[in-house]
Amino acid sequence: MSFSAFLTATPHFALQCTHQSVSNLRELIPSENEGVNFCKRLTIKCVRCSGKNAYLCAMTKILFICLGNICRSPMAEAVFGHLAAEAGRTDEFVVASAAVSEEEWGNPIYPPAAAMLRRHGIPYDAARTARQMKASDYQRYDLIIAMDESNIRGIRRITGGDPEDKIHLLLDYAGEHRSVADPWYTRDFETAYDDILRGCRELLESLPRQS
């Protein structure tokens, strides 16, 4: 199998190497594997290498989903990333977020959600903008974590099903089978933050540490 075919066939692996020039790596990466994973990994030291010209490391790719991708899922993306960093586990994860709707496409994180992150000392990417989930995200990510039950229905409409059992409700990880209430409607960003923090803590705990 060619290297490109291997990368395409194994979405739970991502390129992770500082030993190659950017141009060399670009030549090796099929276009469908370009994007956040590729860009984020370039500066990270390779810890588990294989192959002669490229280095692959097992990573868990997590996509957080909500309705608009401007409140709950970007908060979850930032909170999970922060918890992983605090645990010294940044290299183990690719974390992103998306929407089931296209309502907010191109919009930045909603200011009250951003304010909540700042208040709790959670770094976030102020330049990131909302996007709608695509069917191809199902193969690209290992876990697709929804904020509420209606998100799960929306995700399933986009993906056409869940044959690999990747779609889960965030608070199920905290032993609570319920939704993170949408602060866009409740205006209660503190409760949403608390729920997201609890869910993300338990989600991280549920994923075995890579040695």
CA distance 55 to 67: 36
Contact 61, 141 (CB under 8 A): yes
Residue with smaller CB distance to ligand 4NP, 138 or 184: 184
Residue with smaller CB distance to ligand 4NP, 38 or 193: 193
- 148 catalytic residue (yes or no): no
Active-site residue identified among 41, 57, 140, 182:
182
Residue nearest to ligand 4NP (CB): 68
CA distance 52 to 68: 42
Backbone angles phi, psi at 4, to 5 degrees: -60, -45
* Amino acid found at 83: L
Binding site for ligand 4NP (CB under 6 A): 66-72, 103-104, 182, 184
Minimum gap (Å) between residue 131 Cβ and ligand 4NP = 12
Active-site residue identified among 66, 140, 195, 200:
66
Active-site residue identified among 46, 71, 72, 148:
72
Residue with smaller CB distance to ligand 4NP, 57 or 113: 113
Minimum gap (Å) between residue 197 Cβ and ligand 4NP = 15
- 142 catalytic residue (yes or no): no
Minimum gap (Å) between residue 98 Cβ and ligand 4NP = 10
Minimum gap (Å) between residue 62 Cβ and ligand 4NP = 17
Minimum gap (Å) between residue 18 Cβ and ligand 4NP = 35
- 71 catalytic residue (yes or no): no
26, 43, 199, 211 from 202: Cα distances, Å: 36, 28, 5, 19
3-state secondary structure of 34: coil
Residue with smaller CB distance to ligand 4NP, 56 or 66: 66
Residue with smaller CB distance to ligand 4NP, 103 or 188: 103
Nearest to residue 117, comparing CAs of 86, 148, 81?
81
Q: What angle do CA 178, 179, 181 make, to 5 degrees?
A: 135
Positions marked catalytic: 66, 72, 182
